[in-house]
Amino acid sequence: MTDAANPSAPRKHTEVAVGVLIGQDGALLLSTRPEGKPYAGYWEFPGGKIEAGETVEVALRRELQEELGITIDGAEVWRVTEHDYPHALVRLHWCKVFSWSGEFEMREGQTMCWQQLPLTVTPVLPGAMPVLQWLAEERGIVGPVLAGG
């Protein structure tokens, strides 16, 4: 989308907080994007847009409460990536999360699953691919991060 008043203006980034929830067995939590959002049905890591005045951690805690009904204990930014979608230029602030409280509830009608690498779910949001690659490298996994991919 361009700025109609100033078509040559650079696109503004949409800042997004994303949680890589890691279970005790190293499994990763993936969920589907709800109906009505761009890329509905694609698998992603849970998270969402950072609102004005929020830190990444505060935004992530709010998003995971809203979407999944859990409360994360803490989150520190691990990586920052960018992805240029037709609907938005996003800057993704990725946090690994090892500890949370509460029971998972799919509050937006999404589906969740715990996955080891390579992932067996598909399709996955393109903006998540670099992070899957880094996670695979950390784990010494060679080859595609998506099974069959």
Ligand X SMILES: Nc1nc2c([nH]c(=O)n2[C@H]2C[C@H](O)[C@@H](COP(=O)(O)OP(=O)(O)OP(=O)(O)O)O2)c(=O)[nH]1
Residue 72 backbone class (left: φ over 0; alpha: ψ -120 to 50; beta: rest): beta
Q: Scanning residues 118 to 147, which ones bind ligand X (CB under 6 A)?
A: 125, 127-128
Segment contacting ligand X by CB under 6 A, of 4-12, 21-29, 37-45, 68-76: 37-45
Segment contacting ligand X by CB under 6 A, of 40-48, 72-80, 96-104, 138-146: 40-48
What is the identity of the amino acid at 8? S
CB of 1 to ligand X, least distance (A): 12
Q: Scanning residues 82 to 101, which ones bind ligand X (CB under 6 A)?
A: 83, 85, 88, 90, 92
How is 33-62 classified by DSSP, letter by letter?
Answer: PPTTSTTTT-EE-SEEEPPTT--HHHHHHH
What is the identity of the amino acid at 115? Q
**Please, what's the largest Cα pairwise distance for the chain?**
52
Q: Scanning residues 12 to 31, which ones bind ligand X (CB under 6 A)?
A: 16, 18
What H or E segment, with its residue span, contains residue 63? helix 56-68
Q: Which residue has the CB atom at the shortest distance from ligand X?
A: 127
Contact 70, 64 (CB under 8 A): yes
Alpha-carbon distance of 149 to 140, in angstroms, equals 18
Please report whether residue 72 would count as binding ligand X according to CB under 6 A: no
Query: By CB under 6 A, how many residues form the interface with ligand X?
Result: 17
Nearer to ligand X, 85 or 104 (CB): 85
Binding site for ligand X (CB under 6 A): 16, 18, 37, 44-49, 83, 85, 88, 90, 92, 125, 127-128
